[in-house]
Amino acid sequence: MRRWLLLALVVPVVLSAQPSNYDLIIRGGRIVDGTGSPWYRSDLAVRADTIVRIAPSIAATAARVIDVKGMVVAPGFIDIHTHARRGIFEVPTADNYVRQGVTTLLEGPDGSSPIPLGPFLSKIAATRITPNFGSFVGQGSVRSAVMGDVNRPSTAEERERMRTLVRQGMEEGAFGLSTGLFYVPGTFTPTDEVVELARVAASMGGIHISHMRDEAKGVLESVKETIAIGERGGLPTQITHHKIIGKKYWGQSVDTLRLVDDARARGVDATIDQYPYTASSTSIGSALLPAWALEGGAAATRPRLKDPATRARIQAETANLLRDERGGGDPRNVVVARCDWDQSLTGMDLAAITAKRGLAVSIETAADTALWIVEQGGAQGIFHAIHEEDLQRILVHPATMIGSDGEIPIFGKNHPHPRSYGTFVRVLGVYVREKHVLALEAAVQKMSAFPAQRLGLADRGVLREGLKADVVVFDPATVRDTATFAQPHSYAAGVALVVVNGEVVFDNGAMTAARPGRVLLGSGGELVNGVRR
């Protein structure tokens, strides 16, 4: 057995001699158990890392009894799409997530993961972190490791090496294969090549999760491709952070959801995850430059931008992307979230930066500014180009779960998308309580039992005796996000208590000293080690 896996394994605490005594009793709450069933009133008792009793009135003693009358008691939330490796080693308590009630983070989305995965998970296991942590293996990272970021078909020998890396990632504990066919080098990958790798993940019980090739003009074709990867690869497939980008294409969620419904009707297990915001976030280069201009990485992009004729071609395509896609038709819709080479640009929009450069603001000059930013070293951006109607249509679909696509910010640093601080509580505050778009029980199911089932986490995601004690307690009347696009560094409100593996990690408005998070392994890691999670 690999050494890092030993670190990830857990020795259960020896059970108390008196079975009537518990470590923790959460008393008098409304149990929303994660399955979607209506709430009921009960006490919930924890011993060591396990929920051992749920009953209307537990009279036994406990080391700690917490009265949560009027509050909702739910399974800790599972975030199936995070970029938590941005920040987990600086902020191992993951306050932004835990304060929302998130108790499990999944990394390695969008085709991007550490390769190999094992040493990274070993480092996570050796770092005392607060939430549980799992990962996918990224197709883009695998292709990059074998071929570089080049735009050409793979050879049979290269595909064999890629299959080996995917198999290794699965053995090291990945929950499946992620793709980011929008990004370099995913965008250079033909569907057939993805299917070959998906079959490897399938043979080891993994799923496929995809940031699709195109979320704007080609969104329908991309949904078909995502479904085809699941159908031909023989594994569950998930459209991650589903959205329709660009005013020209708004409304097409009617058709994307119909494609998912049709696929499910014929037996293809296709699902969706989503964050509840009308803006996305990724690098300005990826979002606003054509993929061909980015081939080979930054060192190859710069000479293209220096050549006047090539630069003019890139700028014309960037102007189109600003007009019809991520730019949302107005340079003010693109905001710099992080800029390492000039902090003063952080929080400014593309129109303001264009003016600051002394240019009259237009789509064309803003396109020039986007190229200038890439030349200087690039920046992370926020892009306001999603319609609320598409958002809500996708949100209420029964095949949709919640995922933040966020990261772990250092509090107060940079200008991140508020999704990192607010995704889960925003669904509860805005879409359950204020807009009545979702029932409370349905929203909780999309944050707990549904992603747990998707990942094969049979012992989490539901409040039931015998399962792991990952629990969140919140006030349904006040739970909400406070992070905004203007003021993103702001924690969730209305969450009273968070428990991870039986230990209280957030209580009374503050993080505790406990850091009980574990590395969770996918089915491949489980098979190799012959142990149940």
384, 285 in Cβ contact below 8 A? no
Evaluated on CA atoms 73, 470, 420, 510, the torsion sign reads positive
Minimal distance, residue 507 CB to Zn ion, in Å: 33
Residue number, 211 or 232, with CB nearest to Zn ion: 211
Minimal distance, residue 209 CB to Zn ion, in Å: 10
CA atoms within 13 Å, Cβ hemisphere of 56: 1
CB closest to Zn ion, residue no = 211
CA distance 437 to 434: 8
Of 491, 401, 483, 499, the closest CA to residue 100 belongs to 491
Residue number, 391 or 432, with CB nearest to Zn ion: 391
Minimal distance, residue 256 CB to Zn ion, in Å: 16
Pairing of strands 279-283, 471-474: unpaired
Residue number, 138 or 173, with CB nearest to Zn ion: 138
CA atoms within 13 Å, Cβ hemisphere of 195: 13
Of 192, 259, 184, the closest CA to residue 221 belongs to 259
Compute the C-alpha angle 297/303/309, nearest 5°.
120
Minimal distance, residue 523 CB to Zn ion, in Å: 23
Residue number, 211 or 213, with CB nearest to Zn ion: 211
| Per-residue tokens: 522 | 């996918």
Residue number, 238 or 354, with CB nearest to Zn ion: 238
Residue number, 53 or 338, with CB nearest to Zn ion: 338
Minimal distance, residue 184 CB to Zn ion, in Å: 13
Length of the chain: 533
Whether a cis peptide bond, with omega within 30° of 0, leads into 185 is: yes
| Secondary structure element (H or E) that encloses residue 496, with its range | strand 495-500
Q: For binding to Zn ion (CB under 5 A), which residues are involved?
A: 110, 211
User: 3-class DSSP state for residue 236?
Assistant: coil
Minimal distance, residue 423 CB to Zn ion, in Å: 14
Minimal distance, residue 466 CB to Zn ion, in Å: 35
280, 243 in Cβ contact below 8 A? yes
CA distance 267 to 109: 25
CA distance 398 to 444: 12
Minimal distance, residue 183 CB to Zn ion, in Å: 8
Residue number, 110 or 390, with CB nearest to Zn ion: 110
The DSSP secondary-structure symbol of 430 reads I
